[in-house]
Amino acid sequence: MSKKPNLLFFGIDSLRRDHMSLYGYKRLTTPHIDKYAAGGITFENCFSAHIPTTPGYANMLTGHDVFGTDVVALGQREIVAGVPVLAEMLRDEGYETTCIGFQGNASGRGYDNYISFKGWGPDREDGRAHKAQNLNDVAIPELERLAAGDKPFFLFMRHMDPHSPYLAPEPFMHMFFQGDAFDPNDKRMQKVYDFKPFGDYIGSWVPKGLTNPDYVIAQYDGAVAYMDSCIQAVLEKLAALGLEEDTIVVFVSDHGETLYDHDCYFDHHGMYDPTLVVPFAVVWKNHLPAGVRIKDYMQLKDVTPTLLEIMGIDTDLPFEGRSMMPLVRGEKREAEPEFYITECTWMRKHGWRTPEWKLIVSLEPDFHFKPMVELYNLIKDPEEYDNVADKYPEVVAVLRKRMDDWIAKRTSETGRPNPIDVNFLKDGKPFKTSQEAYEGKYIGGIEDAVKLQKKD
């Protein structure tokens, strides 16, 4: 190679890894990603420790944790001063950088070029959302343009298909569901419609009269499969341009998605594992080993240090995240199996996750009327439905101390308060009751959701 490797970055919103066939899901949702990722390294236990989108991408694209970025909430506009994002790091290394679909986010700064695409609700006569094809319509010409230049390039693409509304076009909308979606005896969707904050929004994009939540889950899977098919076109273009051996390809997500789990209907709040589990796979043909799967725990803060090492770039910057490449080489890397977790979307909580236990502590009453303290044994109860906080107060105490000690350590190191303590869900003050939170949080229909997304 006569120049540094290019970076083709698939940043996929709301993609939970356990709904990808790449990670063993029962449905063949990602066949093209599966095949391509087999030529590189797949990380099997990557977690988004700080949800939702804004802190997730901040961790991913800076190499810092939530204390290092000072970004914990959906609507935050700026990463703390002095912390560069990946686009800025690569620009300093002589890269031309293009961002598609991510302008305005705290982590979306520093690119040379910005391109938008229509990536939310139904946009064509069929009433379906062609998000990934809309992205391809601008991404493929941009890839061709960058390929013709004399600089290495960084092309970041934010895919929105797994983000609600799940409205993949035919044949994907019927790919994974052939049952009865409108059985009047099936009452499971009624509690979704009755949940005031989200009910009208979800009702605005699912078929009228739908009673079966399995249909909606199948629509999520269909949206993933549709996106996967469109991603193949980008990968095919990369090959046609003769750039596979010159380009590192990354697949990663900012957070997962709750479907019919834990009453967090078809969204990405709640610190249960469906929201925390994300994919991370890296391919560099004939440069990285093929068929490697790394089982060690990692977090999104490790993504940027890993990529920089693969690219051979030493920024001399401090990171909280650490490269995963020692494990790929068969070397030792100190494990980090337990870690601090936060959410500040529709609820404000933090907690501590270990391989065996998960502690969730609410910092203000939530709109699901959940207990202020939750404890789950992830080995005995991997789906996290048996809250044993009252049964094991000694475990709660131990985990709280570990969490509090970590917070004290990091706030001392940064000289700033824990950002979850100073970010609130309304008016600069916490909700007093769950009822107040329930009545104070409301999305509306698709257009209202679009406005919220643009605002946040």
CB 61 within 8 A of CB 317: no
Is pLDDT at 124 greater than 80 in this prediction? no
Position 109, amino acid = R
Taking the C-alpha atoms of residue 310 and residue 312, their distance in angstroms, rounded to an integer, is: 5
Taking the C-alpha atoms of residue 372 and residue 390, their distance in angstroms, rounded to an integer, is: 11
Instruction: Give mean pLDDT, residues 282-303.
Output: 98
Is pLDDT at 447 greater than 80 in this prediction? no
- Mean pLDDT, the chain, integer: 94
Instruction: Give mean pLDDT, residues 68-83.
Output: 92
User: What integer pLDDT is reported at residue 445 of this predicted model?
Assistant: 58
pLDDT band (50, 70, 90) for residue 335: very high
Q: In DSSP terms, which residues pair with 8 in a beta bridge?
A: 155, 249
Instruction: Give mean pLDDT, residues 87-99.
Output: 97
User: What integer pLDDT is reported at residue 345 of this predicted model?
Assistant: 87
User: What integer pLDDT is reported at residue 74 of this predicted model?
Assistant: 87
pLDDT: which is higher, 371 or 106: 371
Q: What is the DSSP letter of 258?
A: B
Taking the C-alpha atoms of residue 109 and residue 151, their distance in angstroms, rounded to an integer, is: 20
Is pLDDT at 449 greater than 90 in this prediction? no
Please give the backbone phi and psi of residue 60, each rounded to the nearest 5 degrees, phi first: -60, -40
Domains of the chain, each with CATH number or no CATH: 6-328 (3.40.720.10), 347-440 (3.30.1120.10)
CB 333 within 8 A of CB 324: yes
- What sign has the CA pseudo-torsion 28, 29, 30, 31? positive
Taking the C-alpha atoms of residue 113 and residue 306, their distance in angstroms, rounded to an integer, is: 24
- Per residue in 300-323, pLDDT (tens digit) is 999 999 999 999 999 999 999 999
Instruction: Give mean pLDDT, residues 151-158.
Output: 98
Diameter of the chain by CA atoms?
A: 66
DSSP letter for each residue of 111-155: -SEEE----SS--STTS---HHHHHHHHHHHHHHHHHTSSS-EEE
Is pLDDT at 227 greater than 70 in this prediction? yes
User: What integer pLDDT is reported at residue 119 of this predicted model?
Assistant: 72
Helix (H, G, I), strand (E, B) or coil at 387: coil
- Per residue in 252-275, pLDDT (tens digit) is 999 999 999 999 999 999 999 999
Q: What is the pTM of this model?
A: 0.95
Q: What is the DSSP letter of 81?
A: T
Q: Where are the alpha helices (DSSP H) in 378-424?
A: 393-414, 419-422
User: What integer pLDDT is reported at residue 426 of this predicted model?
Assistant: 83
User: What integer pLDDT is reported at residue 68 of this predicted model?
Assistant: 97
User: What integer pLDDT is reported at residue 456 of this predicted model?
Assistant: 46
Position 65, amino acid = D
Please report, rounded to a whole number, the percentage of residues in the chain having pLDDT higher than 70: 97
Is pLDDT at 455 greater than 60 in this prediction? no
Instruction: Give mean pLDDT, residues 168-195.
Output: 96
Is pLDDT at 339 greater than 50 in this prediction? yes
